[in-house]
């Protein structure tokens, strides 16, 4: 059973524990339950990174789809403009939902990484063999360094999302109250800026996704 399937299997019981005991106790209960299925925090971290990578891949596609619809609106030359507006608005709302999912998945990665490294630090003091302790300490340092690169790239990409969403929101709101050729001409003037912002966002997401792939490969190989 995979980490994701075990998590779904634990769903109801873990949710009850969270409601009763609070978030910190919830995490402890969750980790304890996962350990019974043979999954340690490093396994959970890999799974969370996979989830964050998938969320970024979905968000990247969504923003590209939204850009396509924005371009279609700017090239509009007659017909039912209301329909084009509704399509663009739906793409914007889908983009907002994907952005929220990306942020949530990155938060999940950070939470598990923090707990993993804290546990790893504590366990270094439990070794009786100094050679094994030094080896583990070196592995911890290497993993922290790889993680630092990963989370920096994830957060760098995530920080580019809000400016893009804000720009889209402004255009959608503007179009809502100005369904006419003059409004389309105004949006057409903004097209290059929107395209540039989304291209920068997609490039950062691609770098983050590639780093996630590398992190997962390294963690799985150890």
Do 200 and 94 share a structural domain? Answer: yes
Do 46 and 33 share a structural domain? Answer: no
Q: How far apart are CA 167 and CA 176, in angstroms?
A: 14
The parent domain of residue 161 ranges over 40-221
Q: What b-and-e string marks burial along 122-152, b requiring 16 or more CB atoms within 10 Å of the CB?
A: eeeeeeeeeeeeeebeeebeebeeebeebbe
Do 98 and 20 share a structural domain? Answer: no
Do 59 and 168 share a structural domain? Answer: yes
Q: According to the model, what pLDDT value does residue 180 have? A: 87
Do 52 and 140 share a structural domain? Answer: yes
Do 196 and 154 share a structural domain? Answer: yes
How far does the chain reach from its first CA to its final CA, in angstroms? 20
Q: According to the model, what pLDDT value does residue 2 have? A: 65
Do 83 and 26 share a structural domain? Answer: no
Q: How far apart are CA 183 and CA 190, in angstroms?
A: 11
Do 215 and 156 share a structural domain? Answer: yes
Q: How far apart are CA 59 and CA 208, in angstroms?
A: 12
Please state, as a whole number, how many other Cβ atoms lie within 10 Å of the Cβ of residue 108.
18
pLDDT tens digits along 75-98? 887 667 888 899 999 999 999 999
| 10-residue averages of pLDDT along the chain (222 residues) | 57 50 71 85 95 98 96 83 92 98 98 97 96 97 97 97 96 91 89 95 97 95 74
* Alpha-carbon torsion (125, 131, 132, 136), positive or negative: positive
Do 1 and 63 share a structural domain? Answer: no
Do 76 and 45 share a structural domain? Answer: yes
Q: According to the model, what pLDDT value does residue 15 have? A: 47
Q: According to the model, what pLDDT value does residue 127 have? A: 97
For 33, list phi and psi in degrees, rounded to 5. Answer: -65, -40
Q: According to the model, what pLDDT value does residue 12 have? A: 47
Q: How far apart are CA 31 and CA 138, in angstroms?
A: 24
pLDDT tens digits along 141-165? 999 999 999 999 999 999 999 999 9
Do 145 and 111 share a structural domain? Answer: yes
Do 110 and 30 share a structural domain? Answer: no
pTM, entire model: 0.86
Q: According to the model, what pLDDT value does residue 44 have? A: 95
Q: According to the model, what pLDDT value does residue 24 have? A: 67
Q: How far apart are CA 28 and CA 23, in angstroms?
A: 9
- Residue 126's alpha-carbon distances to 31, 119, 133, in angstroms, are 20, 11, 8
For 145, list phi and psi in degrees, rounded to 5. Answer: -65, -45
Number of domains in the chain: 2
């Amino acid at each position: 059973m995979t980490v994701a399937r075990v998590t779904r299997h634990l769903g109801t019981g873990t949710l009850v524990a969270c409601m009763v005991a609070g978030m910190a106790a919830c995490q402890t209960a969750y980790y304890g339950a996962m350990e019974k299925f043979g999954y340690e925090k490093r396994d959970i971290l890999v799974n969370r990174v996979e989830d964050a990578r998938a969320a970024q891949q979905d968000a990247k596609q969504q923003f590209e789809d939204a850009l396509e619809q924005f371009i279609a609106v700017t090239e509009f030359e007659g017909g039912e403009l209301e329909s084009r507006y509704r399509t663009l608005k739906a793409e914007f709302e889908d983009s907002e939902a994907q952005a929220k999912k990306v942020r949530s998945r990155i938060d999940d990665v950070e939470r598990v990484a923090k707990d993993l490294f804290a546990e790893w630090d504590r366990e270094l003091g439990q070794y009786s063999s100094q050679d094994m302790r030094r080896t583990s300490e070196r592995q911890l340092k290497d993993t922290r360094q790889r993680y630092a690169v990963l989370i920096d790239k994830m957060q760098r990409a995530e920080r580019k999302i809000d400016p893009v969403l804000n720009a889209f929101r402004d255009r959608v709101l503007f179009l809502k109250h100005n369904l006419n050729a003059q409004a389309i001409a105004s949006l057409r003037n903004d097209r290059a800026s929107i395209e540039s912002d989304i291209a920068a966002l997609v490039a950062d997401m691609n770098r983050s996704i590639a780093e996630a792939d590398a992190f997962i490969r390294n963690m799985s190989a150890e």
